[in-house]
Amino acid sequence: MGQLAEALRDLEEETVIELVETGIKNGQSALEIISECNAGMVAVGELFSQNQYFLSELIYSGEILAGVMAKLEPLLQETGATESKGKVLVGTVKGDIHDIGKNIVISLLRGSGFEVIDMGVDVPTEEFAKKVKETGAKALGLCALLNFTYPEMKTVIETLQATGIRNDVQVIIGGAPCNEQVREYAGADYYAPDALAAVNLCKKIYQ
């Protein structure tokens, strides 16, 4: 584990920000920094599972990461794309309020020229199908970080089916504990392990 990941795991806010600023100065890419932060957040999650950290530490880690993202945001927007590459809907499913990773995905998509409609967190099931119809977006990103909200991704996709628009939109799922098995279970088209993968999938969908 790198120094930055360790500092984030140990909730050393000042050190985290210092290391991020040094990384930026030394030409480290935003995605490299995010990837190291991810490792730190996974470690925070593990300490939480082991009852060594409690909800307050989980909240604090989120706040530190939000501070990091405020520093990285301008770098994610810097690709200079002008024309819209296509519309992408992104939201965190019902029952889930995790949004740090989703917001990174959105920043990177916007920076890459996509028009993103951010549906927020804890999005009611039927809202997704409604918005797909309304906007004509061909890509829908569903975010879930809790294993008890995976079934909700499945329900959203079933709603698309029931509304007769399943074939109009490609569904990409993401969020730390998602994987190929969850994708298969939910009936999604793709699983993106990180923000860059999400951008590449959207490029593929709109090519």
Question: Is 141 an interacting residue with respect to ligand B12 (CB under 6 A)?
Answer: yes
Number of residues that bind ligand B12 (CB under 6 A): 41
Among 16, 119, 139, 143, binds ligand B12 (CB under 6 A): 143
Question: Is 7 an interacting residue with respect to ligand B12 (CB under 6 A)?
Answer: no
Question: Is 96 an interacting residue with respect to ligand B12 (CB under 6 A)?
Answer: yes
Listing DSSP states for the chain in one string gives --HHHHHHHTT-HHHHHHHHHHHHHTT--HHHHHHHHHHHHHHHHHHHHTTSS-HHHHHHHHHHHHHHHHHHHHHHTTT---S---EEEEEEBTT----HHHHHHHHHHHHTT-EEEE--SSB-HHHHHHHHHHH--SEEEEE--SGGGHHHHHHHHHHHHHTT-GGG-EEEEESTT--HHHHHHHT-SEE-SSHHHHHHHHHHHH-
Whose Cβ is closer to ligand B12: residue 121's or residue 165's? 121
Among 3, 10, 17, 45, binds ligand B12 (CB under 6 A): 45
Question: Is 67 an interacting residue with respect to ligand B12 (CB under 6 A)?
Answer: no
Tell me the CA distances in angstroms from 75 to 68, 163, 198, one per residue in order.
12, 39, 17
Minimum CB–partner distance for residue 145 and ligand B12 (Å): 4
Minimum CB–partner distance for residue 97 and ligand B12 (Å): 4
Question: Is 61 an interacting residue with respect to ligand B12 (CB under 6 A)?
Answer: yes
Question: Is 102 an interacting residue with respect to ligand B12 (CB under 6 A)?
Answer: yes
Whose Cβ is closer to ligand B12: residue 166's or residue 188's? 188
Minimum CB–partner distance for residue 197 and ligand B12 (Å): 7
In whole angstroms, give the CA distance from residue 69 to residue 108: 12
Applying CB under 6 A, which residues contact ligand B12? 34, 38, 41-42, 44-46, 48-49, 55, 58-59, 61-62, 65, 90, 95-102, 104-105, 141-143, 145-147, 172, 174-177, 192, 194-195, 198
